[in-house]
Amino acid sequence: MEIIKGVGIGDGLAKGKLIPLKKGTGGSHRLSLPDALEKAKALLDELYQNAKKTVGEEKAEIFSIRKMLLEDEDYLNRLDENVKKGLSPLMAVEEAGDHFFRFFSSLEDEYLSARAFDISELTTLLTGILKGEGFSFLTPTEDSILVMEELTAEQVFLLQDPKITGVISEKGNPNAHASILAAARSLPLLLLPEALSLNGLFGDAILDCEKGSLFLSPDEETLRAYEEKKAKRKIRKAVLQKLKGQADKTKDGVEIKVYANVNHPEEIDAVMENDAKGVGLFRSEFLLQNGVLPKEEEQFLIYRSMLEKMKDRLLIVRTMDFGADKCAPFPFPTEERNPALGLRGIRYSFTFPEILTTQLRALCRASVYGNLGIMFPMVSSKGELTEAKARLQDVQKTLRKENIPVKEHILTGVMIETPAAALISDVLARDADFFSIGTNDLTQYALAADRENPSLAPFITADHPAIMRLIALTAENARKAGIWAGICGELAKDLTLTESLIQMGIREFSLPPSMILPMRERIQNTISVPGKESYVSL
Amino acid sequence: MLTFSHTVQAEHGLHARPAGKLIHLIKPLDASVKVKNQDKEADAMKLIGLMGLGIKKGDDVTFIIDGVQEQDALKAVKEFCEREL
């Protein structure tokens, strides 16, 4: 038995034969352009049908639109001309892709210019087919774990066959669209570390995403452990399912808000599926795709659809938090000697105000479609909060002048993620409807330890008394001002701290969707008033 | 040859989805349909061209229909405009 370590997406378990998805080697595998087009169309048909079944007709529509683009005469003529000019099929596709990408980008209508993205996706699909990247794995004959160079978002939808139990991707990152979709669809996925290739490997394997491990030719013991874990999961799942629809109340009857953290709009389905009572943090900077931000109209449609799906549940959108480690490359790159202490969060937004204004306009326009909250990242002074709120009010005023309906009062909150913000939380509380403590940054700033630097890992303890004091202070100041304080960082996930945090006055936890029900279970077993043996000594 | 004019009511104008529907409606018919928006004109069978017209709410568009089944095409276009545009 051999064990290979990687990054597991989600906590899925899978067992099956490894099927390496061979890349085209060129030569004999190469397809002609007409064959590639036919194949792409058939594939898009299949994607449409699959997506229609799993995510609904509206979302599936994208694949039929892409197919229509492929059948478009102008597009086909362009390909034809390119081939006649002597370009290879691959070059012909790339040139046409580039041409129509620029055509759509140039259109003034924001929705239409977003079609440029469809064109670039089509180009990727076609060039992939031309290079012989097969899709023959679609109907395996036995339980299989696919090994591929890089899983794409479209392929996540292709993998509908129940015999495909998991996927190993040699490339990819946990924040990529494909990973998010895989997690949302509970497809076990393992991302391999760089420079590790499984090409040429066959045989039985077990994939444990929770451990980030792939067991090749598993021994008896591992097989037994797998079956046991699977059985336990099933029982656990049944227990958690029963909690759906229940309240998030402590034993002594204090209501705690259990909300979800979301990076992509698609995850709202998982939020509702796990019965989260709201979204405590939508990291809207993830809307950035290939360095391009969606324009106002597109953002509006995204927020509106999220709000509509959530019915009357609260959706808290954090304004785009660019800078430091977030989502590089940013729309406007910055030179930083010390990125974590560089231009980021709300300060970045003030420096490039059009990003903030566009987003606030889209948010305010969407506000009438549900229950929206807005929060600002990296606020460290009263002035910054005043300024951010003024920008929001300006946008509301302008929209009203344009006769566009805007909700009267939109909940406005502040991320508490610098020690400064925590220390002046009494002042900030006067102008905020809620606090959300971002413990990841708060920890790195309070302990002066870069969280991206592995050699500092031993020094970063999230339950360090200094962090606990900052949290307690923030919660206390929130309570005094009559607003709520929540936690949306990693610390919220540590269920051993839940009771102490509630006793400090924390009234909201924002967690990944899969943690909602375990948190509900935990809260139902806590008491909100500290006993004599309080866990955390400040 | 028949013509038909319509003021666009749809909030988002003639976008990919409705444009696709229009094509599906006209395709089986033996008729040519052109769409005119101000000085720009496009074949109603061509998705990219249609979208390139940038048809927005409030625009006055004209359909120019010609061919054996022009009556059927006109009916299809009228119905399409009522429902989708």
Average pLDDT over residues B57-82: 89
Q: What is the mean pLDDT of chain A?
A: 87
pLDDT of residue A421: 98
pLDDT band at B85 (very low <50, low <70, confident <90, very high): confident
Nearest C-alpha neighbor of A468 from the set A535, A520, A399 = A535
pLDDT of residue A30: 60
B41 and A CB contact within 8 Å:
no
Higher pLDDT, A517 or A203: A517
A54 versus B20: which is more confidently predicted?
A: B20
Predicted confidence band of residue A86 (pLDDT cuts 50, 70, 90): confident
Domain assignment of residue A511, yes or no:
yes
State how far Cα A121 lies from the chain centre: 20
The residue out of A130, A148, A169 marking a domain boundary is A130
More confident residue, B56 or A300: A300
Last residue of a domain, one of A130, A161, A180: A130
A171 and A267: one domain?
Answer: no
Does residue A100 belong to the interface with chain B, where contact is any CB pair within 8 Å? yes
**Tens-place pLDDT, residues A479-502:** 999 999 999 988 999 999 999 999
Smallest CA-to-CA distance from A151 within A188, A114, A122, A118 is with A188
Pick the range with the lowest mean pLDDT from A219-223, A323-327, A383-387, B8-12. A323-327
Please, where are the H alpha helices in A131-254?
153-158, 177-184, 220-241
Model pLDDT, residue A290: 66
Which of A94, A109, A130 corresponds to the end of one domain?
A: A130
Residue A401 C-alpha, separation from nearest chain B C-alpha, in angstroms:
19
What does the pLDDT read at residue A137? 43
Q: Is B16 near chain A, with CB under 8 Å?
A: yes
Selection from A162, A69, A426, A84 nearest residue B20 by Cα: A69
- Give the mean model confidence (pLDDT) for residues A108-123: 75
Higher pLDDT, A158 or A124: A124
Average pLDDT over residues A191-196: 79
Q: Is the pLDDT of residue A307 over 80?
A: yes
CB-nearest partner of A68 from B47, B49, B52: B47
| A372 and A358 co-located in one domain | yes
Four-CA torsion A270, A272, A275, A278, nearest 10 degrees: 110
The predicted-structure confidence for A228-239, as pLDDT tens digits, reads as follows 999 999 999 999
> Which of A69, A73, A111 is nearest residue B15 as measured by Cβ atoms?
A111
Whether the Cβ atoms of residue A420 and residue A380 lie closer than 8 Å to each other: yes
pLDDT of residue A538: 52
| Distance (Å, whole) CA A12 – CA B8 | 49
CB nearest to B20's CB, from A65, A74, A103 = A65
* Amino acid A136: pLDDT: 45
- Is A460 a residue whose pLDDT tops 90? no
Query: Does residue A236 lie within any of the structural domains?
Result: no
- Give the Cα separation of B76 and A150 in Å (integer): 45
The most confident of the ranges A141-155, A332-346, A352-366 is: A352-366
**Interval B2-13 mean pLDDT:** 86
A335 & A362 share domain: yes
Query: In the prediction, which pLDDT does A365 show?
Result: 97
Q: Let me know if residue A113 belongs to a domain.
A: yes
Q: Is the pLDDT of residue A435 over 90?
A: yes
pLDDT of residue A215: 94
Whether pLDDT at A326 is above 60: no
Same domain, yes or no, for A344 and A451?
yes
Residues of A with Cβ-Cβ distance to B20 under 8 angstroms: 64-65, 68
Q: Which domain holds residue B10?
A: 2-84
Q: Which of B12, B15, B51 to mutate to test the interface with A (most CBs of A within 10 A)?
A: B51
Query: Do A262 and A289 belong together in one domain?
Result: yes
Model confidence at A470, pLDDT cuts 50, 70, 90, reads very high
- Report the number of distinct structural domains present in chain A: 3
Q: Which residues does residue A511 pair with via DSSP β-bridges, in sequence order?
A: A260
Closest by Cα among A184, A165, A207, A144 to A8: A207
Tell me whether residue A240 is in a domain.
Answer: no
Domain CATH code at residue A310 = 3.20.20.60
Q: How confident is the model at residue A27 (pLDDT cuts 50, 70, 90)?
A: very low
Kindly list the residues from chain B whose CB atom is less than 8 angstroms away from the CB atom of residue A115.
Answer: 16, 51
Structure tokens at A156: 């996540």
- The nearest alpha carbon in chain A to B15 belongs to A112
Q: Which of A61, A71, A112 shows the shortest C-beta gap to B51?
A: A112
Q: How far is CA A409 from the centre of its chain?
A: 28
- Which pLDDT score, from 0 to 100, does residue A497 have? 94
Is the pLDDT at A506 greater than 70? The verdict is yes
Does the interface ipTM go beyond 0.85? no
Which CATH number covers residue A48?
1.10.274.10
Q: Is the pLDDT of residue A475 over 90?
A: yes
Q: What total number of domains does chain B contain? A: 1
The CA distance from A123 to A180, in Å, is 22
Please determine, for residue A248, whether its predicted confidence score (pLDDT) is greater than 70: yes
Confidence tier at A309 by pLDDT (50, 70, 90): very high
Q: How confident is the model at residue A111 (pLDDT cuts 50, 70, 90)?
A: low
In the prediction, which pLDDT does A114 show? 67
- A2 in reach of chain B (CB within 8 A): no
Rounded to a whole number, what is the distance in Å from the CA of A320 to chain B's nearest CA?
A: 26
pLDDT digits (tens, 9 = 90+) for A50-60: 777 776 777 67
Q: Are residues A349 and A300 in the same domain?
A: yes
A193: CATH:
3.50.30.10
CB < 8 Å to A109, chain B: 13, 54, 56
One domain for residues A273 and A125: no
In a domain, A214, yes or no: yes
On whether both A294 and A203 belong to a single domain, the answer is: no
What separation in angstroms does the CA of A149 have from each of A145, A206, A301?
A: 13, 19, 33
Residue A259 lies in a domain: yes
Q: End-to-end CA distance of chain B, in Å? A: 22
Specify the CATH number for the domain of residue B77. Answer: 3.30.1340.10
The residue range of the domain holding A420 is 245-523
Looking at the structure, tell me whether residues A171 and A258 fall in a common domain. no
The predicted pLDDT at position A26 comes to 39
Please confirm, yes or no, whether B15 is among the known catalytic residues: yes
Whether residue A228 lies within 8 A of chain B, CB to CB, comes out as no
Q: Cβ A68–B51 below 8 Å, yes or no? A: no
Report the percent of chain A where pLDDT is more than 70. Answer: 89
More confident residue, A134 or A71: A71
In a domain, A233, yes or no: no
Radius of gyration, CA atoms only, chain B: 11
Which one of A44, A63, A68, A118 makes the best mutation probe of the B interface by having the most chain B beta carbons within 10 Å? Answer: A68
Q: Is the pLDDT of residue A367 over 50?
A: yes
Q: For residue A59, what is the nearest residue in chain B, using CA coordinates? A: B17
Q: Return the top range by mean pLDDT from A62-66, A214-218, A454-458.
A: A214-218
